[in-house]
Chain A
């Protein structure tokens, strides 16, 4: 006897609104997955063509607040590619600083949600409190806990001095210690492992077929980190910064969590390196560029994986077209493989394990 089960669209365990209609057998094993989307569709692709290039620096940030630095970052890279401008080296470095700070905070948030959904209260508190260190850092230097408002055409809006560099280094060291300890705690918690090992498995073969990216790919043994495969910005100028990604073969919820720990530790290493070796110079070019007619495609590595921007301009103050391919778009497909044959009670946890960003995907 199969049973219809619905989850959502508004549900405390769902960070973002999505509607699951599942069918399950008498053992509460999922036999059919149907997902209804569209709750977060805000018409962003139309909206960006109504706003000018300056306004879009902020609007792209609101595509998603968790990777809210990657969006404007990729957007300005595309605009600068069309305008053919070379930005100062210091600006490149400052962009990467902001990016790795966001990556760390974003991954820590995902791990907090994971342990929350796995009912591991103590681990959740520890992870969330570690994230708070990053939040405080963002607020004290960039002025907001989520949206850092860092990028602008030809550079960045902020600068660092000796004092703020020291704050970043101190925080990064503290967070690193705590993350190492957390990783150990996750590994030593048998109850957590019981709930996550072998759950929501995405075999290597399916992962390749679907083309998943980011920590989801790394959890299934695939390394397609854009910072390594097609380096951009400072990752291209200083190849030694490229992350040494941690790969796992198991493809389960636990492996994806561990891949994120690897990402965090590398992000902290990059962060410390970049702020300790900040190039001198300007943070942006005084002369604002005219964006001529043109097209560009740019890709970067967001906390959730590969983010692609397509930008088309006609020489006016507004884009003609802007389009995104976001990491969750491909990772979402993998959910069907992960959820099918697993327990109904694991569904929200499996969903969380791809670190879905529905606001990016439905925009």
Chain B
């Protein structure tokens, strides 16, 4: 006896259509492996047991989403596709956004990306099916599901999960300023700074990397952004930026980047500068050099 297919229904709660377009590609292009999964796209939400939801949930969509949810029959699994669906992403601060969707429905799997690659959407659906199977057998949703689909690769230039080289970051906050979806938060601590990137709010635009004066923040081509709901807030990249100790006066200070020094001392050979002194001592040294 063959198992009945999983019945998938997609709800767009106000997406920029990127995620929906890529969902279509995922569903109909063979290389994304959906055809091997025994899923069927259905016309009525009543028949479905796998919901794919995109978008940040606009106020107008809210009542309709609730109505559609009330028609679902248990057990069902929910996959949120796109950064918007997880955290409202780039639209979070708007008056007309009532999401994220997990305020109204128990989401099981989140697929971050803006839009995510079809490979990631397919993985999200595969994980959703896994959760559904477990639910049908009366089991709890696990804390983690290992990667299901294999054989996918991303091109070198793909803008995936952001990463930070904490040794060259100077906590200048440029990245925080240019990030359109407030995914970066830099906090001052006693010994320096903590630099956090929240992957579930990031829209993978690369703005931070482009404008960063030191090249400390960069995109990797890692597209492992399909996570279970319990990992929603812990999927961070945390960098610890320590202050240095001034070799002259012993005070703690944040060293400037060589890029910045290069701009300040255009006529000097940077190699000759003593780089490990604080700004106060540098002022003094400069004064002596020029007038002593």
Chain A interface (Cβ < 8 Å from any Cβ of B): 9-12, 14-17, 38-44, 46-47, 50-52, 54-59, 61-66, 68, 109, 112-113, 116, 124-125, 128-129, 131-132, 135-136, 139-147, 149, 152, 157, 357-359
Interface size for B (C-beta < 8 A) is: 61
A144 and B20 contact, Cβ closer than 8 Å, known pairs A47-B91, A55-B180: no
- CB pair A17 B205 closer than 8 Å: no
Q: List 14 A-B contacts (CB under 8 A).
A: A10-B45, A16-B17, A39-B13, A47-B93, A52-B178, A55-B180, A58-B180, A65-B115, A125-B28, A132-B25, A139-B157, A143-B219, A147-B18, A359-B14
Residue from A43, A61, A124 in contact with B205 in the complex, judged by beta carbons closer than 8 Å? A61
- CB pair A113 B24 closer than 8 Å: yes
Given A40-B14, A65-B115, A142-B157, 7 additional A-B pairs, CB 8 A: A10-B45, A17-B14, A42-B96, A58-B203, A128-B25, A144-B204, A357-B17
Interface residues of B in 100-117 (CB under 8 A from A): 114-115, 117
- CB pair B211 A54 closer than 8 Å: yes
Q: A59 — which chain B residues lie within 8 A by C-beta? A: 90, 180
| Most A Cβ at <10 Å: residue of B31, B45, B61 | B61
Residue B177 at the chain A interface, CB threshold 8 Å: yes
- CB pair B159 A47 closer than 8 Å: no
Interface residues of B in 5-37 (CB under 8 A from A): 9-22, 24-25, 28-29, 31
CA distance A131 to B26 in the complex (A): 13
Q: B11 — which chain A residues lie within 8 A by C-beta? A: 10, 17
Residue B207 at the chain A interface, CB threshold 8 Å: yes
Chain B interface (Cβ < 8 Å from any Cβ of A): 9-22, 24-25, 28-29, 31, 41-43, 45, 55-56, 58-61, 64, 68, 90-91, 93-97, 114-115, 117-118, 154-159, 177-181, 203-207, 210-211, 219
A139 and B155 contact, Cβ closer than 8 Å, known pairs A16-B20, A40-B15: yes
Q: What is the CB-to-nearest-CB distance from B205 to chain A, in angstroms, rounded to a whole number? A: 4
CA distance A207 to B213 in the complex (A): 51
CA distance A42 to B114 in the complex (A): 16
A64 and B159 contact, Cβ closer than 8 Å, known pairs A12-B41, A58-B203, A146-B115: no
Residue from A56, A109, A116 in contact with B21 in the complex, judged by beta carbons closer than 8 Å? A109
Q: B29 — which chain A residues lie within 8 A by C-beta? A: 128-129, 132
Q: What is the CB-to-nearest-CB distance from B212 to chain A, in angstroms, rounded to a whole number? A: 12
